[in-house]
Each structure stands twice: as structure tokens, then as C-alpha cells.
Amino acid sequence: MLGNNGKIDGFSGINPIESKEELIKIYPAKVARKRAKHITVYDREEGDPPEIEANVRTVPGIITQRGCSYAGCKGVVLGPTRDIVNITHGPIGCGFYSWLTRRNQTRPPSDESENFITYAFSTDMQEKEIIFGGEKKLKQAIQEAYDIFHPKAISIFATCPVGLIGDDIHAVAREMKEKLGINVFAFSCEGYKGVSQSAGHHIANNQLFKHVIGLKNEKNDAKYKINLLGEYNIGGDAFEIERVLEKCGIELVATFSGNSTYEGFANSHVADLNTVMCHRSINYVAEMMEKKYGIPWTKVNFIGAESSAKSLRKIAAYFDNAELKAKVEKVIEEEMKEVEKVRAEVKAKCEGKTAMLFVGGSRAHHYQDLFTEIGMTTVAAGYEFGHRDDYEGRRVLPTIKVDADSRNIEELEVSADEKLYSPRKTEAEIEKMKSKGIDFKEYEGLMSDMAKNSLVIDDISHYETEKLLEIYKPDIFCAGIKEKYAIQKMGIPCKQLHSYDYGGPYAGFKGAINFYKDIDQMVNTKIWKEIKAPWETEPQLSARYGSE
Amino acid sequence: MEKKTFVSTRNACKLCAPFGSTLVFKGIEGALPFIHGSQGCATYIRRYMISHFREPVDIASSSLGESATIFGGRKNLSAGLKNVMKQYNPKMIGIATNCLSETIGENIEQYIKEFQSNDKAYSKIPLVGVSAPSYKGTHQTGFHEAVRSVVKTLVKRKGERKKLLSILPGFVSCEDLRHLKEILEDFGLDYTLLPDYSETLDGVFWNEYRKIPEGGTPIRRIKEMGMSKAVIELGKSLLKSESAGSWLSKEFDIPYYNLPLPIGIQESDRFFKTLEKVKGFPMPEKYKKERGRLLDAYIDGHKYLFGKKAVIYGDEDFVASMASFVSEIGVIPVLCASGEDRLKETLKTLIDPKIMDQIEVLPSSDFMEIAEKAEVLKPDVFIGSSKGYFMARKMKVPLMRAGFPIHDRMGGQRMLHLGYKGTQMLFDRLVNIFIEVKQETSPVGYSYI
Ligand code: SF4
Ligand code: SF4
């Protein structure tokens, strides 16, 4: 293991319990009590991670990083697919704001190939539709989208008013599907459902499973076939992962959903293993595919060079083929040469520095590996929309209480498909693999990897972010664009992990190199120190000479 | 108006109402914007604003969930307001509704009244509510509605007439706001500019974090607006009955000037003339020189511009003034388009009928429609926000970025459009675009053109 896990440099003087108090003391008593449950200090020596409150509604008036279920459904899960026309059913704002907002890249095979990512269709509801219903307009919009593009599939996303005025978007979808002879399906992802984007992920998973996965049945003769779930091709990550897998001779049937296509989804059930990157947003599909088609799933992580190597080895071990294993080792060896060279240079300059990560539902975990590789310690981290299992591990699943906000999100009843179910491994084989350390249906959660006494904060508020920065003054803070400029106003560099600040890729081996270099540049750059005017730094200069 | 052949909006040329409203609240000193509704919109809007301004933007929300759609959001609103007050200690909270709260029929004015009378401890902080359903109008509607609500809520006293000038600039850039202030100061005018987000959304580096950034129109000054000796409101797209300026004028019997955005010589002249009238003496030498230089540049640059065709898109008032400016310099605004629906009427208020005849006007349009028309009209340049990049790229026609949003370049908030000086900058950029095209497409690499 790299880095200095266990020993925490750089913030030894700060008592995490006191910092927790500091973060919440301004709140009214009731709110403080609530927020206290979302903040834990993990003392590794005390066994399992402590319970953290997560996936509950944000207190009104607390400025959150979270978005809505529409954002999770349309923006995150379906957004990166290039050949489905997405129509937002609602007033103009939601569709406009989710128009090519993430830097989801895609690579159509040719200039003429379908790519609708740059389009934002909306029914642009007006008062008339709010009063009299918007189904008619929705039908027309679907027809128009069809007339312009003749796509294979059209999907419809509901925004807040839709559920309230009682539009039956699923009936509209069925009718238009019949009429146009293409696949049309809808998502009831109204923003008020659930407590964050996470509800939208679940809704997206359900509908993809119901309406797309398994529709096609094209034979695929490749020897080692996998799907990659929960990878959204931010900054071209998917391209790098695709490159590495191809080099190893592993066939990627479908990615959900970076650089993906409708056909890929439809045929994804022919894969022999589902590998899961972002557990939060896509574990439902993995679970359901296992039940229906008999495809096991395992957690992987292609963020971090070591983690990528580990993930590749896991895939090779699953297929249990000597040739594949040798190939994977060779690729790792080749790729690691350059990685190690850059890492050594960067590590020398970054060792001992501290990072904080507050983002998403898996990124705040995955990126810790990259920081560890260059000797930096993550002193505080948390998710925007994670659940308890994403923090504490899936072993807590049976004990999670489902509250009113999540109860209304449909849980699909799934059973084995009469024709297509075929268990890829026997139970005995699975058990044997488990005994060799290959885990299935398992995710350890973020806390398992964090340093002793680090702070874990769920759904951190804007206010808490500011306080945290004040107390810890980390060398870098990872978040999204909403936080970026506030953090930088305090002189601390902020790396965006939703868009990579238009850098990247950061996945795989080449991505790790990019990340090391970018982080080096950010934490060691002079700008952050020279921001102070000369008359402000001078007195401090002399003080520093004295103490150093 | 021609009947549209489509009903959906494909790549919209407008944003939603709460965006405009929260932007106005960002321009009031110590104010915190708050969206009463589902939290997703607050997040989207924050993110969108930040992508242009590159500054921290805090917008709170009452985080309405599924149960609120049944029982209403009263409780969430009052809890939310209290929490915001504790954390941020704001001097004012501006509350915009959104599609969700409007669809379930929340009455924001009523809720505010109840909140303030229920708990005296919380009644000291002024609350301004604005109804901002996006299924009516655009971000511009939300913007102007919010200005009107601020004025109607805060301007109370009618006192002795002061020398004060009230100026309502509409949605312009931070640099535009700074330039307006510079002009007013040079005129020696005592003024209230509402809103003024020039500092809050384009601030200096901070040595110490501030929960609410410095700057913004002081609330005290807003309260005095009823004692103004004149009100200037920019933007001809405003229906008189719905604007803050016309309300002030009617309510307090104040002379009212509704002017287009001062872009181009004609409209800048009109603006400066109005200031001369209000102040009672001619414009300072500095501006005469700016005007003179601009005129001189017009003459020098004419040969590069004459007969060129431009497509201008964006907010109505921006498009109208831009069209007026480019037609002054011999460029034909062959296509003027907006996601708003009164573009033709707005254009007519400032464009010469002879030029109007040469313009195709597309109100209530989207970028697909604009692109289709542009394909036919074959413009030499696009003028508008980053959102037109896609079509400009496809047609291989240069894009002059102006207006909002600009998030594929730095400095959108520091782009100056207004006055002789702003026009000068636009003019230079526009000429240089054509010179660059000429240079780049020339077989010889001339460095002297
Ligand atoms: S729901 Fe309405 S207010 Fe919210 S983003 Fe959509 S259009 Fe804007
Ligand atoms: S919360 Fe509702 S209205 Fe707001 S962005 Fe999400 S879906 Fe749209």
C-alpha cells in the first residue's frame, strides 16, 4: 500500500471532535442535532465504521450541493448516451440547465453517426399546459423529434409540474412507440421525488432495465465479455478505460453510460461479468441483471493506477484463464513504467499534503486512491447523495431504514428470464473465487479506506464547507463548480470532480499521470501564495523566518 | 406573426424565471436569494450563474419534497427562512417561487405576511417575495418582476423630493454596471442603481471569507427611491404596466424615462441626453471625447464592415440595441432572434423602418430555428451568447460573444457593452473579426491589412 494511511500528517493538531462541534454550533438546536448525525469521526481502531445518517432530506434553508431526481436521471445516467433523443417534459429551465452541462464526451464512429448530446429538447410548458395538461404537446414534441432525427429511441423525462398536473407520460410513450415503431419510454423523475439525484438514478435504472436491456440478442463471440456500470466518461475517462481493456483483450459489451449507445444497452445481457464503478448510481441494474440473466457483479475502480491494476487482475481472476492473466500482467507492467516515473517526481513534491473531497456518490471515495498514490492524505470526505452503504459498506443494507422520501421509488420485482437466464458461474465456483479474495456483490464503502480520525460528512452544506476550510486549510479541495469559486476565494485550490475543470481523463493509467501532474500544479503553484498584496505578506515574512 | 411549425423547444434561447429573480437579489446589499420550491432548481441556477460569473453564488431553498406537494410548503418555508437567517445573517432575503410551488398554488405574499407576524424575532429582516413560474415568460420576466417586487416592498416613504436619480439598468454585465456608475458619478448625480451585482458577482480576491459578498444596492438607498427626481429604466421590451420604473413613476409622481440599452451612437446619445436633462448641464468633456473617438473609428472601419450580414440572438433588449448599433455601421442585422415573444415590437421602438424591412425577426424562437434561418441567410457573423457556438461552428461563421451566458470564454462578466466606450469595444471586436477572416483566408500572409 502506498502513502501514509494510518498516520495523519498535516492536521495532527486539530481535534476532529472539536471541529465537528464548530461546524454545527451556529445552527438552531434542532438542526444542529440533525446535522450532527451526518458528521462522523472514524477512529479505525474501534472496528466497523460508525453509523452515519445519509440519504435523508436536506433541511430547508441549508445550502446544499445536491440537485434533484431529474438531474440524476436525465443528467447523470441517461445524458451521456449519444443516440437516444432525450425530451424534457416541463417548463424550460430544467431542460436548459441540463443541456450539455457535464463534460460527457462521446465518440461516434463517424461524423454522420447519430449524436444528440448537443441537443436539448423541451416541451417548454406554458401556463395553458399547466392548467389543461401537457400530454398533447408532449406527443407533438415526440413526433417532431422523430421527424427531425428518426432516432432508434426517444426518452421522456418529467420535471416537477408534470406529476402534479397528472400527465400520464408512460401512456404517451406507449402510444407514440406504437405509432412510430421505435422505442419510446418515459421516466417519472420529477425533481421533488426522493431527496437528491440518487432517486433519479434509481428511476433511470428501473426504466432502462424494463425498456431497453435485453431487447436485442446479438451473439458475441468474444472470450472475455464484461459491462462497465457507473462510468460516465467525464473528461474522456471511458476512452482510457476502453483503451486499457482492449489492450488486455477484454471485450466491453456496454458501458452504462459513458460513450454509450442504445444498442449497447439493449445487448448488454450477453456479457459474462458486470463490473461496477459508481456503486451508488447503478447498483440496481447490476442486481437486477444478476437475477434475470445470471450475470454476477463485482466492484471495480479505475480511478488510480494501483486501483486500475487491481481491477484488471480481478477481472482476469474471474475468467480464470492463464493467457488472460499473463496478458493483464504484461499490460500493467508496461503501463506502470511511465506511471511510476511521474509518480515519483510528483510524490516528492506532494507528500504530506492534505486533501478534502466532497462530491457525488462515489468520486469522494475513488479519488482518495489517487491522492494516496502521491502521498497525500484525505482528511475529510463525504458524498453529496450517497447512502449509508456507500459510506459503511453493503453489510449495513439490511439495517437501513427506508424513509417516506425514498419509499415511493419503485422497487422492481425481478425473476430469472425463462430463455435468457444462464448463471455464468456455479455457486460452488463463486464460493471458490470468494475464498481466493474475489468479492461479488460487495462494496466496502468510503469509510473503510479513510485515515484514522478523519472526518466524514454527508451532504455537507455551503456553510460547513466554509468552516471546514477555515479550520483545516487543506492543500486542495475537490468538489463541483458550485463550490469552486467560494473555495478559491479562500486561497485554496479547488479541483472539480464533476467536470475535471475541462481536464482529464483521470481514469486508468494515462489518467493517473494526468491527475498527478494536475494536482502537483495546483498544490504547488505560486499563484495561490502570491495572491496577497506585498503590504500584506511582508510582516508575515519576518514571522516565518523566525519560526522556520 | 408567422405561425410556428413546431411546438417543442429545441435548444432554448431563454432561461427560466427564478434565474432572473435570484440574479436581482444577488445585486442587493447583504441580500440572500431563496427559492421556495424544490431544491434542484436552486442547484441548477447556482451552477449556471457560476459558470458565467465565476464567483460564489449562494441560493437557499425550502427543499420541498413529495409530501409538500400534498400538504403545501408553508412549514418548509418558515423553517428554511429561520435557518438561513441564523447561518447568514442577511440584511434581506429575496424569495422567488418556482414551477413546483406555483403549480401547487402557494401564495408567497401571504406566507411572508404570516411568517413576519408569527414571530416578531424574525420580522426585522425584510423579505421580498416574487412569483416566478417559468411557464410564464423567461428569465427576463423573472428579473423584472423581482425588481418590481423589491421596489414595491421596500420603497415606502414619500418625503421631500431629493436630487436622487433612480436607475434600473435591467440585465446587463458587471462591467456595464460599473460603467454606468462611472458615468453617473462623472455627471455628479446622486443615484440609486438597482440591482447592482457588479461587486457581488465580480468581486476582488478575499483575504477573509465572507458569507455574503460585499457590494450591491444598499437597502437604505432603495427605500429612498420614492423621493427620486427622475427614474430611468433601460429596456424597451418592458410593458409599461409591469415595470418597476413605471410603478415608481405612478406611485410617487416621478418623471419616467424608458430607454433602450445605450449601445451604438444613437442610443448612447439618447441616454446621455437624458442624463443632461436630469442633471441640467451638458455631458462632461470625457464623454464628448469618447463619442468623438467612436465616430472617428466608425469612419476608419467602414470599409471592412459595409454590407456585411449579422445574425443577432439573445434577450430582446440586447438584440434590439445591438441591431441598432450594427446598422449604424453598415452591417445588416439580417436576422434578429430571441426566446422572448415581443421582439418585433421592441425592435420597432428603435430601428428605422427602412432597416426593419431588411430584418427577419424571429420571436419565441430556439436555436434550431435560428440555425435553419441562418443557413438560408448566410451571415458573415453571429452576435450573441456562447449558446450560439454550436451553429457558428457548424456553419464555419465567426461568433462575436456578447450578452449572456458566456461560459466558453473568460470574462463575460467584464465585457462592456454600454455607452460610447462599450460601443467602441464592440466595434473594435467586430471589425477585427472581419479583418481576421480576410487575413486568414488570404493566400498571402499579410501582416498589414
Ligand atoms: S422547474 Fe421551473 S423554476 Fe425550476 S428549473 Fe425548471 S423551469 Fe426553472
Ligand atoms: S427540482 Fe424540479 S423543477 Fe427543479 S430542476 Fe429539478 S425537476 Fe426541474
pLDDT at A47 exceeding the cut of 80: no
What distance in Å separates the CA atoms of residue A388 and residue B277, rounded to the nearest whole number? Answer: 67
Strands A454-457 and A39-42: antiparallel
Asked if B41 and A193 come within 8 Å (Cβ–Cβ), the reply is: no
- Smallest CA-to-CA distance from A508 within A244, A252, A230, A229 is with A244
CB B49 within 8 A of CB B19: yes
Maximal CA-CA distance, chain B: 77
**Looking at beta carbons, which residues of chain A come within 8 Å of B18?**
93
What distance in Å separates the CA atoms of residue A155 and residue A148, rounded to the nearest whole number? Answer: 15
A201 flagged as catalytic: yes
Residues B17-154, CATH architecture:
3-Layer(aba) Sandwich (3.40)
Atom of ligand 1 nearest to the CA of B99: 2
Q: Which element (helix H / strand E) includes B332?
A: strand B332-337
Q: Would you say the CB of residue A187 lies under 6 angstroms from ligand 2?
A: no
pLDDT at A535 exceeding the cut of 80: no
* Of B14, B21, B41, best ligand 1 pocket probe by most atoms within 8 Å of the beta carbon: B41
Q: Would you say the CB of residue B41 lies under 6 angstroms from ligand 1?
A: yes
Task: Please report where in the chains the cell 471586436 appears, as a residue.
Answer: B429
What distance in Å separates the CA atoms of residue B326 and residue B203, rounded to the nearest whole number? Answer: 32
Atom of ligand 2 nearest to the CA of A71: 6
What distance in Å separates the CA atoms of residue A453 and residue A11, rounded to the nearest whole number? Answer: 10
Q: Which residue among B16, B68, B136 places its CB closest to the CB of A127?
A: B136
CA distances from B117 to A445, A474, B112, B120, B128 (A): 48, 44, 9, 6, 15
Predicted TM-score (pTM) of the model is: 0.93
A89: nearest CA in chain B?
B8
Check residue B322 and give its pLDDT: 98
Residue with more model confidence, A201 or A76: A201
Q: Which residue among A26, A90, A486 places its CB closest to the CB of B87?
A: A26
B400-437 tens-digit pLDDT: 999 999 999 999 999 999 999 999 999 999 999 999 99
A63: nearest CA in chain B?
B60
CA of A125 to the centre of ligand 2 (A): 13
Residue with more model confidence, A503 or B175: B175
Asked if A68 and B41 come within 8 Å (Cβ–Cβ), the reply is: yes
DSSP B205: P
Q: Which of residues 338-367 of B touch A (CB under 8 A)?
A: 339
A478 flagged as catalytic: no
DSSP B1: -
pLDDT band with cut points at 50, 70 and 90 for residue A532? low
A397-444 tens-digit pLDDT: 999 988 888 888 899 999 999 999 999 999 999 999 999 989 999 999
CA of B63 to the centre of ligand 1 (A): 13
Task: List, in sequence order, every residue forming a beta bridge with B166; answer none if it has no partner.
Answer: B192, B231
Asked if B8 and A191 come within 8 Å (Cβ–Cβ), the reply is: no
CA of A75 to the centre of ligand 2 (A): 12
pLDDT at A246 exceeding the cut of 90: yes
Task: List, in sequence order, every residue forming a beta bridge with A454; answer none if it has no partner.
Answer: A42
Atom of ligand 2 nearest to the CA of A159: 7
What distance in Å separates the CA atoms of residue A134 and residue A527, rounded to the nearest whole number? Answer: 53
Instruction: Please name the residue whose Cα sits nearest to atom 2 of ligand 1.
Output: B99
What distance in Å separates the CA atoms of residue B420 and residue B186, rounded to the nearest whole number? Answer: 14
- Rounded mean pLDDT of A299-322? 97
What distance in Å separates the CA atoms of residue B122 and residue A396, rounded to the nearest whole number? Answer: 42
What distance in Å separates the CA atoms of residue A182 and residue A154, rounded to the nearest whole number? Answer: 8
B98 grid coordinates: 418556482
B53: nearest CA in chain A?
A485
**Which residue out of A71, A94, A278, A355 is catalytically annotated?**
A71
Instruction: Please name the residue whose Cα sits nearest to atom 3 of ligand 2.
Output: A160
B187-235 tens-digit pLDDT: 999 999 999 999 999 988 776 677 888 999 999 999 999 999 999 999 9
A71 flagged as catalytic: yes
Asked if A466 and B98 come within 8 Å (Cβ–Cβ), the reply is: no
pLDDT at A187 exceeding the cut of 70: yes
Q: Which element (helix H / strand E) includes B102?
A: helix B99-103
Check residue A245 and give its pLDDT: 98
Task: Please report where in the chains the cell 413560474 appears, as a residue.
Answer: B133
Asked if B66 and A485 come within 8 Å (Cβ–Cβ), the reply is: no
Same fold, B17-154 and B164-279: yes
Cα R_g (chain A), whole angstroms: 24
What distance in Å separates the CA atoms of residue B233 and residue B361, rounded to the nearest whole number? Answer: 24
**Residues in CB range of A148: below 8 A, 6 or more apart:** B10, B368
B232-290 tens-digit pLDDT: 999 999 976 679 999 999 999 999 999 999 999 999 999 999 999 999 999 999 999 99
Q: Which element (helix H / strand E) includes A535?
A: helix A534-547
pLDDT band with cut points at 50, 70 and 90 for residue A545? very low
Rounded to the nearest angstrom, the minimum Cα separation between B141 and chain A is 13
CB contact B209 to A (< 8 Å): yes
CB B1 within 8 A of CB B344: yes
Percent of chain B with pLDDT over 90: 87
Structural domain boundaries in chain B? 17-154, 164-279, 285-440
pLDDT band with cut points at 50, 70 and 90 for residue A528? low
CB contact B7 to A (< 8 Å): yes
What is this model's ipTM? 0.93
CB contact B122 to A (< 8 Å): no
**Residues in CB range of A411: below 8 A, 6 or more apart:** none
pLDDT at B120 exceeding the cut of 90: no
Instruction: Specify the CATH superfamily of domain B285-440.
Output: Nitrogenase molybdenum iron protein domain (3.40.50.1980)
Between chain A and chain B, how many beta carbons pairs sit less than 8 Å apart?
A: 229
CB A199 within 8 A of CB A69: yes
CB contact A120 to B (< 8 Å): yes
A327 half-sphere exposure, CB direction, 13 A CA radius: 18
Asked if A482 and B9 come within 8 Å (Cβ–Cβ), the reply is: no
CB contact A115 to B (< 8 Å): no
What is the CATH code of the structural domain delimited by B164-279?
3.40.50.1980
B285-339 tens-digit pLDDT: 999 999 999 999 999 999 999 999 999 999 999 999 999 999 999 999 999 999 9
CA B332 distance to own-chain centroid: 24
Q: Would you say the CB of residue B62 lies under 6 angstroms from ligand 2?
A: no
pLDDT at A45 exceeding the cut of 90: no
CB contact A472 to B (< 8 Å): no
Asked if B12 and A164 come within 8 Å (Cβ–Cβ), the reply is: no
A68 flagged as catalytic: yes
Q: Which residues of B264-291 are buried (b: 16+ CB within 10 A; e: fewer)?
A: bbbbbeebbebbeebbeeebeeebeebb
Q: Which residue among B43, B59, B390 places its CB closest to the CB of A66?
A: B43
CA distances from B55 to A435, A477, B22, B157 (A): 52, 16, 15, 35
- Rounded mean pLDDT of A47-73? 92
Q: Is the peptide bond before B213 cis (omega within 30 degrees of 0)?
A: no
Check residue A542 and give its pLDDT: 37
Instruction: Please name the residue whose Cα sits nearest to atom 8 of ligand 1.
Output: A93
Check residue A48 and give its pLDDT: 82
CA of A94 to the centre of ligand 2 (A): 6
Mean pLDDT of the residues in chain B: 94
**Which residue out of A66, A102, A243, A462 is catalytically annotated?**
A102
Strands B360-362 and B332-337: parallel
Instruction: Specify the CATH superfamily of domain A69-192.
Output: Nitrogenase molybdenum iron protein domain (3.40.50.1980)
Structural domain boundaries in chain A? 69-192
Rounded to 10 degrees, the C-alpha dihedral B435/B438/B443/B446 comes to: -20
DSSP A531: T
Q: What share of chain A is helix, strand, coil (3-state, %, to 5)?
A: 50, 15, 40
What distance in Å separates the CA atoms of residue A37 and residue A42, rounded to the nearest whole number? Answer: 13
A65: nearest CA in chain B?
B43
B417 half-sphere exposure, CB direction, 13 A CA radius: 32
pLDDT at B44 exceeding the cut of 90: yes
Instruction: Please name the residue whose Cα sits nearest to atom 3 of ligand 1.
Output: B98
**Looking at beta carbons, which residues of chain B come within 8 Å of A159?**
99
**Residues in CB range of A323: below 8 A, 6 or more apart:** none
